Structure 1
Amino acid sequence: MELFYNWWTNLYFLLLRPMLKLLFKWVTGQCELLRITYSNSHQADRVKRIETSLRLSRNIELQKCADNSDLDVTVSVERIQVVKNITPTAHPQFQVSFKDSLQRIAAYNQIIVQAENLRKTKFSSDNEDHEEKLTKLWHLYNADGAVLPSRVGHHWTEIGFQGDDPATDFRGMGLLGLEQLIFFAEIYPQQALNVLSQSRHPQFGFSFAIVGINMTEMCVTLLNKRQFRSYIYSFEKPDPGLTDFHRIYCHIFHGFAQYWLAERPNSIMEFGRVREDYLQKVRTLLSADNTLLLSEFQQS
């Protein structure tokens, strides 16, 4: 079955798709990009279709537009109009719609780059800025104003780290894991503290910080697999940034905490199963073009 699927996929992209594109262009007098911009599809769907069209193009210049995080959108629109022989005066809507789509595609690519740069930045105890962020994390999740007893100590387990030195727990997600835990408490303090409190449940508790870092890994994976496109491409603004990715993380983390409690696991040993079930739920949610992620969140 897999062999047949691969054979059919290759046949479609190498032969049938180019033939269909030529047929539709002959019938409508419009290239594929022009037809997409004139369609009445949902904004996110339109952007994704344009992205796919660019990525599958035989023109290298068009292909690069789908993966470039530093794209000069205005120049690219002008160049593609020339390549595709689209007259601006005859199709003024194309320039506006296509430029908007390219901005969103480039912004998503930029988020990937920025997130990966943070993820690859290892926490260093020799870096004063990193140490200040760690101290800030402690204070944010100790609303009673408790003073940090010491840089290393068992007190870190109170907010869900594995051992005495939280620096060791950031190895997989680097500085991104730390910054997202900080962002959650800074922007949504009530929700963050609620999740921390829930993590201390005598029967259904979990290691707050460790799970938070695990949710960072989940978000990075979904981001790199471009599974946040429907959600991000639906934003009103055409140029979302890393802050918007951090907000998504907050919703994902908060959502997992609620899902974990609803599942009423027998022990923390069920974390892998519950996480996988939750991941599938999130993927299904993100497949819709009108996805909302816990819209009741209010910014502090």
Structure 2
Amino acid sequence: MVGSQPDHDARIQDVLSWKRSKHTWRLGSGGVDNKLDRKFIPKSTLEKAFKEPGKVEGLLEALFGNGNGSDPLPDADYIRNRYLRPFVILLCIGQGHMIYHFVEHESLQDRHLPFRAEPEGFPSSTTCDLWASFNEKQWCFCATALEYNMSFHLGKDEILPIIHKERLGEGGSAVTHKIIVHEDYDSLDPPGSCGSVSNNDHHVFVVKTYRTADAKTYYETERNAFKNLKKAGRPPPNIIGFYGSFVRGENFNIILEYADLGSLEDFMRRVQPPSSIEDTILFWDNFFNVTHGLVTIHNTKEGNPKEPQILLG
């Protein structure tokens, strides 16, 4: 019953057309410079296309017929819930019929993706190097989720779900960018919070990238200082939020809260001094909150983050 993939079938053609559509893809970040140069397919896009009623059933019928022979069709719900990404990857490389073998191995389930080495039970094919083809294609279905307190070393094939990147500034040792993380992969906010601490723009953060000869030293100093500032696993009040870090190649990156009102110096230039007693009291009350943050930084054991600034959000 198991044969080659019938690409001429309209249901298979529908999948291949979906794969080619520009609406299926988002541009993410790959490579050591975190450039927006790697396309990926978001989880929500995949699920919307393949979890509609009858979709998987129709594809299985296209691949295997009606299942009236001695071998029954693979169970559509089982594939939909546990093998959806592997199934779609196989379809995209012309090997959809191999799902018949995949469902016999727990090691090939969706939850184990991406496969960083050829997993136990992975099948072979006489028509292609199946593992090489699958491995090359899987990464665009497996963008790396960004998690609060992450400390990742990323491989060359991994795609970050950063869908917007805007340069903010550059210092002697680092460059900063405002980024937007695709909502499917954004778990950066501390548990119990609703979006970024300082603003209402969910999925908006800052990446600070160290890239000089001393990049690793500066990165580790600042990362460790931010970690020591946390209270009960969360950033303390009046301190810019630290969400995690990652290393790719020789680039060292920390993910920070986006302070959308700029520095204190920017604020003082832009805003008129308080003119009423109430405004004056409010100004000094908020200013003393800033000093509390500075005291917290001063009292950390690991040393202060390099080039500290007062930022407003």
Tell me the TM-score normalised to structure 2 length: 0.25
Larger Rg belongs to: 2
Tell me the TM-score normalised to structure 1 length: 0.26
